[in-house]
Amino acid sequence: MFDLRDLYQQVIVDHNKSPRNFGKLEHYNHEADGYNPLCGDKLHIYLDLDEQGRIADVSFEGEGCAISVASASLMTEAMKGRSMQEMQAMFEAFQQMVTADIAEAPDDDTLGKLAVLAGVREFPSRIKCATLCWHTLKAATEDSGKVVKTE
Ligand code: ZN
């Protein structure tokens, strides 16, 4: 039988083992640091916004648990070419997905592959691991210069 949970697990393991968009971008105009003290996850996001304010490129460095690395890997993949409005909409949809109490199927049209992280809602301590990269990306777009902390 096809087990959806196994598939989710495989994608997370794969993105943790070989994270996409890992490393410093050659050209970037925004960056930010994120830290989740609860788990020890640390991320640095490099962001290249074009003149229209779209995400031309995005990458990350850092270390953390499998969920934080896989989430950052999946997020950077999903964010290329997105406008700020699209980024914000996906951030909100993602947050809703991982904090929903009801086990409803995530809206694949909005989140695409990111839906594999829906399972973290069963592990409340892991929600911050999954959302750290999003908060850090947002901070990079705002150039706050502060380290984003989940606590
Ligand atoms: Zn973590």
pLDDT in tens, 25-45: 999 999 999 999 999 999 999
What is the number of other CB atoms lying within 10 angstroms of the CB of residue 55?
Answer: 23
Q: Could you tell me where the DSSP H helices lie in the chain?
A: 4-17, 66-79, 84-99, 108-111, 127-142
| CA of residue 40 to ligand 1 center, whole Å | 6
Cβ partners under 8 Å of residue 43, min gap 6 = 33, 34, 35, 60, 61, 62, 64, 68, 72, 132, 133, 136
pLDDT of residue 1: 43
| CA of residue 147 to ligand 1 center, whole Å | 16
Neighbours of ion ligand 1 (CB under 5 A): 39, 41, 65, 68, 129
List, for the chain, all residue ranges whose pLDDT scores fall below the cut of 50.
1
| CA of residue 48 to ligand 1 center, whole Å | 26
> What is the spatial distance between Cα 117 and Cα 99, in angstroms, rounded to a whole number?
11
pLDDT in tens, 63-73: 999 999 999 99
* SS3 category, 80: coil
Domains of the chain: 4-149 (3.90.1010.10)
pLDDT of residue 116: 85
> What is the spatial distance between Cα 89 and Cα 81, in angstroms, rounded to a whole number?
14
Judge if pTM exceeds 0.85.
yes
| CA of residue 68 to ligand 1 center, whole Å | 5
One-letter amino acid of 41: D
* SS3 category, 114: helix
| CA of residue 50 to ligand 1 center, whole Å | 31
pLDDT of residue 3: 60
pLDDT of residue 107: 58
